[in-house]
Structure 1
Amino acid sequence: MENQIFELKYALDTFYFLICGALVMWMAAGFAMLEAGLVRAKNTTEILTKNVALFAIASIMYMVCGYAIMYDGAIFLSGIVGDGVAGAEEAATYAPSADFFFQVVFVATAMSIVSGAVAERMKLWAFLIFAVVMTGIIYPLEGSWTWGGADVFGLYNLGDQGFSDFAGSGIVHMAGAAAALAGVLLLGARKGKYGPNGEVHAIPGSNLPLAALGTFILWLGWFGFNGGSVLATSSVGDSNAVAVVFMNTNAAAAGGAIAALIVGRILFGKADLTMLLNGALAGLVAITAEPSTPTALQATLFGALGGVLVVFSILTLDKMKIDDPVGAISVHGVVGFLGLMLVPITNPLTDDGGASFSGQLIGAVTIFAWVFVASLVVWGILKVVMGIRVSEEEEYEGMDIADCGMEAYPEFVKG
């Protein structure tokens, strides 16, 4: 009887893990649609190529070395099976291969964040080479210090410092934004984005319906992102935890969307759709660090804080001439940091776990410093060896023709 119960729990938790992983994989489509909608028409094919290719690269690199670095575990190569990949160990609550799949879609998410920030002026192959290093080494090493439980370069353990990140506001989202920021600083702004006297010239996206669709896809996928991080659903306690996480994830997105919409109306006198979309995503990022302990009202307020912050962050980065076509650095980086710092409010440090403000700050600085510096080095090497920015003529003509030789909307005039 006990064995039958164990097998049932094992099957349910494995199935839940896989379904949540599939939802997170669907976020790749969300990022692709969001970015395709927010770039100019002449850069659409290239942005789609990047998003499909980076997911494939992440899947391969995490299999080859990323998972082993992050969890000191098996290398998932054909013919090489380790740590129970082929079947259940008695101590396991779900199939190890399901854990691998769930983790690999997270690393792809971190890399997707980079794609939008460097859009419309980065060479495709420079980006893809960076994706190899980011998904195979930079992210897994940072992940080993957090979810993997390893010491930071053998110096200190973030868990011992009072650091907690339930589903990755810092580990995934802020990390992706740190890599993006390093690339953007070396790339420079798009031609015509900023005037000689500090003027900011808006460069509208080509397809706002597509951007809105991408946001809804990401909103849906986020239930797998946060809900799957409960890691189980086969008991009453786990099922209740999953339900709370789903509820709070949705509440935070709603709070972020409405807050950004209202702030945009106050600042611009109009309902700004792009700020509304980024506000919803900011709410999702803000709650990701701890979606299991707030009440629904608290989650809504946390999301609203993210929605307000993202608007001002986007405007501030523009004043600093940091050109981010989709607002990824603000949504995932600035609000990712906010999400980490909100954790101790509802999950304070105790003997049973939780987080402290100092621990969260130490963790945030560690993650950002490592990913930013390592990315800056890789981007810098690529810049010297092969260049990372297309020519001015290619940028004017569009990345679709320069990198892919085809246009996404050939029947329309270039935008």
Structure 2
Amino acid sequence: MDTTFLMNSLWVMLGAVLVILMIGGFILLETGSTRMKNAGHIAGKTILTFSISSIIFWAVGFGLIFGKGNSLIGFSNFLYSGYDMDSLSLSGAVFFLFQLAFAGISLTIAFGGFAERAKLSAYLVFAVLFSVIVYPPIAHWIWGGGWLAEHGKQDFAGSTVVHLTGAMAALAATILLKPRIGKYNKDGSANNLAGHNQVFTALSVLLLWVGWFGFNAGSTLSVDKGFFGFVAMNTNLAAAAGTIAAMIVSWIVLGKADVPMMLNGALAGLVAITASCAFVETWAAVLIGFIAGILVFYSIRFFEKIKIDDPIAALSVHGTAGVWGTLSNGFFATKELATVGKPGLFYGGGLHQLGVQALGVFTCAAFAFIVSFILLAVMKKVMNGLRVTEEEEIIGLDMSEHGSYGYPELVKAEQQFKIQ
């Protein structure tokens, strides 16, 4: 067998493993960013919904994205058998696993808008619907040879396909679910329902940061000329710049270097560079990440002000930064690196590529939000609501949905203290 085929397959398999391990990062991120009474629920439902999305992706999702079809959707490769694809220089089964991981991450992002108030049944049903109806069309349009690919849309590893899609579904969910109990006062002011473990959130960011090398560098799908190293370098620089920018702006505005904001800055930098990591020079990667770190700070404050309760900051980290990262190609994509589409504005390409990027952002965001909103609205009516009762929410989803706490010893100690 060809050595290059084997090396490519091994490299992308490593990338798939790193991306799947990002699910663990999201477990720690969502758990650490929310309250202790929901910790076990968050951990369990994340594993369960990733399992559902895996089966659905095998059954229909992969075929809808990469199957032979038209510019809107694919119609073949359902119940994918793992055979090699003629268009790839690596194992078809490995490519399948890599793409499955991306679909699972997008779903996990979407569930950030459900946090601390949705029924377990709502997670399970929407996991199926999102994996069939929401994610595959957008992925096909950009990565499966669809109409946006024909226009030269640049999204190397998924600022739009994965992150913006998940964020728009999260927005639909949080609007329909409404804010958590106690988040807003009668005068409209917001209370800080602080997450219970900043160490978890910091560790989650590190795990996600490392996993992102699989996300971005793995998307080269090849070891040829070691280009994956350049992509990884751009990824790391953007994350670092995002962290520093968010720390600086929070220090200036709040008077303190806010830890959660700093961590969100790192993730925003990672999300933003995901679309452009293979198309821009290193100085541009630093700038893209730095701007993302500033944007995420003001975006989080904006959504809180308009009473959009987003405990995981999914809308800002994955939505706002995803938009900026996608548009950044229209400014910074170079002639030498733009293997898809055309160079950006600052490299002699005029406004063409920026227009293509904006078209992709608008259509994909609108599709993901509208379709998710309709699906969730129907679910809300059919399932007698998406949200747990007020009593169940106050008790916590660990007990109300699963009958056990994620931290049983701590809960018992707290209850005993109250009795005394």
How many aligned positions are there?
A: 394
Alignment correspondent of 1:64: 59
Q: State the structure with bigger RCO (CA 8 A, min sep 6), 1 or 2.
A: 1
Q: Percent identity?
A: 40
Which of 31, 52, 65 lines up with 2:47 in the alignment? 52
Q: Are residue 359 (structure 1) and residue 356 (structure 2) matched?
A: yes
Alignment correspondent of 1:296: 282
1:385 Cα shift? 1.1
Structure 1 runs not aligned, ≥5 long: 151-156
Which of 242, 266, 275 lines up with 2:252 in the alignment? 266
Cα distance between partner residues in 1 of 2:288 and 2:97? 30
RMSD, aligned α-carbons: 1.8
Q: Are the aligned partners of 2:5 and 2:91 in contact in 1 as well (CA < 8 Å)?
A: yes
Cα distance between partner residues in 2 of 1:293 and 1:264? 30
Structure 2 runs not aligned, ≥5 long: 69-75, 343-352, 416-420
The runs of at least 4 consecutive aligned structure 1 residues that moved more than 6 Å come to: none
Alignment correspondent of 1:17: 12
Cα distance between partner residues in 2 of 1:228 and 1:200? 41
1:139 Cα shift? 0.4
Q: Are the aligned partners of 1:344 and 1:354 in contact in 2 as well (CA < 8 Å)?
A: no
SS at match of 2:65: helix
Q: Are the aligned partners of 1:38 and 1:207 in contact in 2 as well (CA < 8 Å)?
A: yes
Q: Which amino acid aligns with 2:196?
A: S
Cα distance between partner residues in 1 of 2:157 and 2:205? 19
1:223-372 alignment to 2 at 5 Å? Answer: 223-233=213-223, 235-236=224-225, 239=226, 241-347=227-333, 353-355=340-342, 356-372=353-369
1:319 Cα shift? 0.3
1:118 Cα shift? 1.6
Listed one character per residue, the Cα deviations across residues 70-91 of structure 1 (whole Å, up to 9, x for unaligned) are 11165464xx73xxx34575x6
Which of 95, 98, 101 lines up with 1:102 in the alignment? 98
Q: Are the aligned partners of 1:123 and 1:403 in contact in 2 as well (CA < 8 Å)?
A: yes
Listed one character per residue, the Cα deviations across residues 85-116 of structure 1 (whole Å, up to 9, x for unaligned) are 34575x64101111110000000000111222
Alignment correspondent of 2:402: 404
Alignment correspondent of 1:206: 196
Cα distance between partner residues in 2 of 1:275 and 1:352? 35
Cα distance between partner residues in 2 of 1:401 and 1:88? 47
Cα distance between partner residues in 2 of 1:93 and 1:160? 22
TM-score by length of 1: 0.91
Q: Are residue 374 (structure 1) and residue 361 (structure 2) matched?
A: no
1:348 Cα shift? 5.8
Q: Which amino acid aligns with 1:357?
A: L
SS at match of 2:308: coil
Alignment correspondent of 2:142: 146
Cα distance between partner residues in 2 of 1:274 and 1:267? 15
SS at match of 1:158: helix
Alignment correspondent of 2:391: 393
Alignment correspondent of 1:40: 35
Listed one character per residue, the Cα deviations across residues 302-343 of structure 1 (whole Å, up to 9, x for unaligned) are 101000000100000000000000101100001100001101
